[in-house]
Each structure stands twice: as structure tokens, then as C-alpha cells.
Amino acid sequence: MDKVIKTIADELNIKEKQVENAIKLIDEGNTIPFIARYRKEVTGGLSDEILRDLGERLTYLRNLEQRKEEVIKSIDEQGKLTDEILQAVSIAKTLAEVEDIYRPYKQKKKTRATIAKAKGLEPLANIILEQKETKPIEEIAKEYVNIDKLAEEDKKNKDKVVATADEAIAGALDIIAEMISDEPKYRKKIKGFCYREALIETKGAKDEKSNYEMYYDYSEGIKYIPSHRILAINRGEKEGFLKVKIEKPEDKILNYIEGDIIKGETQFTTMLKETILDSFKRLIEPSIDREIRSDLTEKAEEKAIKVFGKNSKQLLLGAPIKGKTVMGFDPAYRTGCKIAVIDETGKVLDYTTVYPTEPQNDVEGAKKELLNLIEKDKVDMIAIGNGTASRESEMFVADMIKETSRDVHYVIVSEAGASVYSASKLATEEYPDINVSIRGAISIARRLQDPLAELVKIDPKAIGVGQYQHDVNQKKLSESLTAVVEDSVNKVGVDVNTATPSLLSYVSGINNTIAKNIVKYRDENGKLKNRKELLKVPKLGKVAFEQCAGFLRVFDGDNPLEVTAVHPESYEATEKLLSKIGFDKKDLRDKEKLEGLRNKLKGVNVAKMAKELDIGEMTLGDIIEELSRPGRDPREDMPKPILRSDVLKLEDLKEGMVLSGTVRNVIDFGAFVDIGVKHDGLVHISEMSDKYIKNPSDVVSVGDIVKVKVIKIDKERQKVGLSMKV
């Protein structure tokens, strides 16, 4: 365990004590959001992201230690365990290294070498490898010819017969070839050569246009190739457009193995050189290729999953638009645009379908109907989905709102996953009497009002802010995105009296069953008055209560502290703090007194006060922050969506124009920015800053509002190049 702790501490650049304490908390069943928020003193303030990485590495390293034990036990049972093997297994840092050490001792299926061993040719292989014998090898090999010694029925079995001296030598060389391919030090050295010097080469497998044309005659060093190119090449190969090969420094590899095996010029030199080449080409190269491709893919997927997670988190934490009546506009052509009007609480007021787009083109009829709804329901904003027919719908909306007396703006909203939600069991439960197609418009409107509460209702994979999400390991992607949603939900906090079961189920310590039980309890007993009442909810015991209580908010309840993230375990210390500075928890509800409280809290000597209250300084810092802004939604600090009232066409763009846009997606090579034309423009990584940038997500996040300059317009391909060097 000490080894695991040290490894994680070194990798994450944190103290061993922090790792040890975090592992203890994880093993006790505490959730990552709970540890990150309420056990800062114990972990030294590790963030949820570092704790997630720590948890992943802990699982991997524990699996590695377990595999090491299994390998040692298996080799020992075969009576072949040596101090050298023990040492090699002990220092192995990856599962791949352990498997390479175990390779010679694995039970093999039938191979040319196992057949040769069964024929008794291993001693002959050893003679050839030792290279000491001066008697001609053909003479020695004759001693292994067994055809005259076998029973008649065995003579018919090729796997038992050694008919000639040449056959005996060939069998012995098969044994040597397999020994070479199984030798861990050779495999390690060859992989080292490859990672330093090998190239990944791709050729076009089909002579036709595709998204992979840049790879039809392409080559790049393995150590330089970025993850998005690995995933693109993999997809091109899978779809049959590319042939992929790893070009290795073959001469260097063969010279290294020959230098280790061949002991000067003897009668065995030529046959050993040929055997080394055979071993490399037939046995080593195919498996090394598979391992390198698999390793590159795994690392590329890991990167893609991290990018996806980071983008999703930004989308989930998008600023809510509160207190506004929103018209959700789900664009389409033939089937018509679905419309739903939602009041500020999320309640559906009206819904309809209009046909302003092709083929019906009923612009006047649609305009009349929607203007009536805008006046009748006092609509403040229109949320337009960004899918099919989005720009045509935007042009229609921009034109229509000029005719209303109300001050109405529109916003383009990502509709990724809206159709998945519409047809889901959850949507059917929420809106049993509303048509599937209308539910998409409701989801689009509610996403503008509260992105987090709406987006938790769909499978995180359907959010669609990454690259190659369908090509990566789906289990790992799912786990990573679930963790991102958990962290986002717990960062914001959840109103226990209004939250849906989907939102509650992501709260620390609450599963689907408990989430449904909370809603059922609420329906039967009315609003919860305090957090303690949660203990009356079936299946929500003391352990779950400890994990979830701080993340659940009770607005208009018995205790003013419960609109904050202050945990019940800190109520006593919090009330003492308020008392010491001349205030009471009731003052949190008094706007006039709140300003005075904030000023007093600014002057608190945290180190001194923490000792007086007998709590940690980090915990006290969090309490002070919560008391300064009770009921604060951390998303309020995020950039607000761009409100538009007119539309921009590709034809309106000119090079050199400076515009404001919303970052829709961040990928390895740049970011896509919505500037109000049909297709998002690309800011390549080289156009993000005058300084060198290693990663676009160091500069921008999904949802950011950025100023960009138009630097390239490709009207034929409907592509726009942008620069942030404004």
C-alpha cells in the first residue's frame, strides 16, 4: 500500500499524507463531491478533479498489485520462480510490463514451438543457442530423428514425427524464435525504439473523396502524433478508407537482438540471424503493433474523454436565465417547427406547431400565431434549437420580433440530446399528455432557464460537446461524464423542494431509489421544512444524510443556514461565529443587515477564529464565503448567453470583421464559435493567442463569450476561419 501511495503522490505532485487520507475516506464510502467540499482539512484541500484522478489511479494500481500476485503465484506453481523474476515483477509499473514478464510462462495454445518441444527438440535448441558445438549441426540433428522409433499409428501423426535432420533443426529454430519473442527485455527495448523513432503511416485504401483525404498518404512520428489524429485514423481504418502501418527502425531492432544472442562467427550464425528475423516478423512485430496501436488509442481516448468532460461541465454550469417566460422553438422543415411557452417556474403555458420553413413556407400564418402567443403569455425570450433548419428559423424569428410591442430577444440553444429526452421514459412521466415532438421544444426552453436541471435528464453522452465520442471506450466515457454531472450538480446545490428525481439522483449519497422517495415524501407531506426532515425519507439513513445534506438547499425553511452549503455538522460553529461578530442566523434573511454582516466577515482573522471555534481554517473560509452570499448560485458568475435580435448571413461576413460569439465546442486543435451564421466558425489553436498554447482548453471553455475576427471565408464549403488575436 505504501508503494501505491508514493506512486500516486509522485504522479499527482501532492503529499503522501494527502493521498493516504484521501484513500481512507474513499475506502470508507465517502463520495468525491463530499470529500472535496467537506473534508478539506483531511485532504489538504484536494479538488474534485484531483480526487477523481486519484481514485482512477488507485483502482489501476490496486489491480496492478493484484495481477502481480497472481503472476508470481502462477510461476511459482510451475516451479520456475527465481529472484530475478520476483525483482522484475516488483518494479513493473504497468500491466503490460507484467504481462510481458508472464508471457513465457503462460499456458500456450498449439504453436510451432510447442509442437517442436513435444517432439523432444528443446535440447537441440539449447545446443544451437549455446553456439559451442563444433560437430556439424546436421550430424547432431540426426540423433533427434525419431521416425524409426515410433509405433506405426504414431508415424501418421505429423505432430510426433521428426523425419529428417533438417526437420529437427527447423523445429529447434521454431523453439528459439518463440523464446526470443517471449523475452521481456527484448519486448521492452523494442517498444522503447518504437516510441522514440517509429512512424505511423497511412495510405488511402479507396480512391474516392472522404473526410480522410489528408491521410491518404500520411506519415507522422508516434511520439508527436496528437490524440485527435489517432482517433481520426482509427475511424478512417474502421470505415475502410485507410490502411495503417507502423514503420519501425527494423535494422536497429535486429542489430540489438543479434548483439545479445550471437557470440561471434560460428556454424550457427546464419541460422540464428534468420531465426531472429523470423521471430521478429512472425511473432514479435504483429503483437508489438497491436500493443502500440492499443496504447496510442487508449491515451487518445483518455484525452478525448477529458476534453468531453471539461466541455460538458462548462455546458452544465451555464448561467441560468431566471424569472423569464421563454418560448422554446424546435426548428424543422417538412414536419413544422414545434413551439412551447414556459413560464418562469418551468410550467408549460402553451404549445403549437407552425410551418414557416420549406416546403410549406407559411411565414405569415406562423408569424400571426406566434405574435399572439408572445402577447398572451408575455414572452420575454425565444430559445431556438441549433439543429436542422435552425438558421432559417432564426431569420424568421428575427423578422417576427420586429413586429411585437414587447422587448423580446432570442438565443440559440444547443439542442443536443433533446430528441433523446423527448422519447425517454422520463419525458413520458413528466408530460404524459403532450406529444413527443413538442417535448423537444419544452426541453429547449427549459435549457435556457436552467441548463443543469434540464441536461441531467439526458444521457451525458448525448450532450455532444467533444470529438469522437462514439469511437472511445463507452464504459469509461459514461463513468467520466457521470462524475462530471455529479460534480456540477453538487457544486451548484439542489433545491430539495423543487428538484426532479433525475437531478436529486446526482446529489452525493443519493441513488435513484432515494431520489424518488424524496419526491414521493414531498408529494405526500408537502415541502420539507429543514434538512433533518430528510431522515424521515425511506432508505435515507444517517450515512446518506451525512453525504447529501450540505448539497441540498431548503429555501423558506426553518433554518436560514439551509439556503447555503454549510453542512449540518458545522451549524454549531457557524452560529458561534455569527454570535461573536454580533449577528444571528436570522440576519441572513434581512437584506439591510446582510451588508453589515459581509463587512464584519471580511475583517475576521481566520486563523485565530478557527482556533476559537475548534474547526479547520479551510472549513471556516468556506463558511464565511457562504454567509457572505447566502443562497448564491455559483453559475451566476458564468458568462450569460448572447441575446440576439437580428440575424447574420454568411454573405454578410467580410474578412477583418470583429464579432462576439459563443464557444460551442473545444477540441484538441481549437474551438468552434457560434457567431450567428449557419455554421460555427473555427478558431484554430494557432489563432487563439500570440503566445504558444499547448491546449485550447487553457484559453477558452464551452459557453465563453469571445471577441473574434473573421480571417477566412469559404463560401463553397460554408466554412469560416476566425482569430481571437483581435
What pLDDT is recorded for position 465? 63
pLDDT, mean over the chain: 90
> Quick one: which of 75, 104, 98, 71 has its CA closest to 283?
104
Which CATH number is associated with domain 650-723?
2.40.50.140
Q: Does residue 424 register a pLDDT over 70?
A: yes
- Tell me: pLDDT of 643 over 80: no
Phi, psi dihedrals of residue 281, rounded to the nearest 5°: -70, -45
Establish whether domains 326-449 and 522-637 are of one fold.
no
- The pLDDT of residue 271 is above 90: yes
597-631 pLDDT per residue, tens: 888 899 889 999 999 999 999 999 999 999 998 88
CATH, domain 326-449, list 3.40.640.10, 1.20.58.110, 3.60.20.10, 3.30.420.140: 3.30.420.140
Q: What is the pLDDT of residue 692?
A: 86
| Strand order, beta sheet including 242-247 | 217-221, 199-204, 242-247
Nearest to 663 by CA among 310, 332, 228: 310
Rounded Cα gap, residues 710 and 365, in angstroms: 37
In the block, residue with C-alpha cell 516478423: 281
Query: Does the structure show a pLDDT above 70 at 250?
Result: yes
As a whole number of angstroms, the distance between CA 85 and CA 43 comes to 37
CA atoms within 13 A on the CB side of 561: 21
Residue 501 φ then ψ, to 5°: -55, -35
The number of residues in the chain equals 726
Structure confidence at residue 69 as a pLDDT band (50, 70, 90): very high
Domain covering 522-637: architecture: Orthogonal Bundle (1.10)
Which tens digits make up the pLDDT trace of 317-360? 888 888 899 999 999 999 999 999 999 888 899 999 999 999 99
- Among the ranges given (123-127, 154-158, 176-180, 258-262), the one the predictor scored with the smallest mean pLDDT: 154-158
9, 15 Cβ separation under 8 angstroms? yes
Using CA atoms of 5, 8, 14, 16 in order, give the dihedral in degrees to the nearest 10. Answer: 10
H helix intervals, 119-197: 122-130, 137-142, 152-155, 165-182, 184-197
Residue 548's pLDDT band (cuts 50, 70, 90): very high
- What single string gives the DSSP state of each residue in 506-526? TSTT--HHHHHHHHHHHHHH-
Q: How many CB atoms lie within 10 A of CB 70?
A: 12
Identify the CA nearest to 338 among candidates 350, 320, 322.
Answer: 350
Between CA 417 and CA 315 the distance in angstroms is 13
What pLDDT digit, counting tens, does each position of 9-21 carry?
999 999 999 999 9
- Report the alpha-carbon distance of residue 344 to residue 547 in Å, rounded: 31
List CB contacts of 470: < 8 A, sequence separation 6 or more: none
The answer to which of 268-277, 303-312, 646-655, 701-710 has the lowest mean pLDDT is 646-655
Residue 138 main-chain phi, psi, to 5 deg: -65, -35
Q: 215 near 244, Cβ under 8 Å? A: no
Percent of the chain surpassing pLDDT 90 = 59
**3-state class of 656 per DSSP?**
coil
Map residue 473 onto helix, strand or coil. Answer: coil
User: Can you spell out the DSSP letters for 348-411?
Assistant: EEEEEEE--STTT--HHHHHHHHHHHHHHHT--EEEEESSTTHHHHHHHHHHHGGG-SS--EEE
Interval 666-691: pLDDT, tens: 888 889 988 877 778 899 988 888 88
Model pLDDT, residue 153: 67
Amino acid identity for residue 642 in this structure = I
Question: Is CATH 1.10.10.650 the classification given to domain 2-105?
Answer: yes
Long-range contacts of 615-621 (CB under 8 A, 24+ apart): 615/570, 615/573, 616/40, 616/41, 617/41, 618/40, 618/41, 618/45, 619/38, 619/40, 619/41, 619/570, 619/573, 620/573, 620/577
Name the grid cell of 330.
424546435
Q: Structural domain boundaries of the chain?
A: 2-105, 326-449, 522-637, 650-723
State the first-to-last Cα distance of the chain, in angstroms, to the nearest integer: 53
Q: Among 126, 73, 94, 96, which Cα is nearest to 85's?
A: 73
Mean predicted confidence (pLDDT) in 428-441: 89
Out of 73-82, 93-102, 709-718, pick the least confident: 709-718
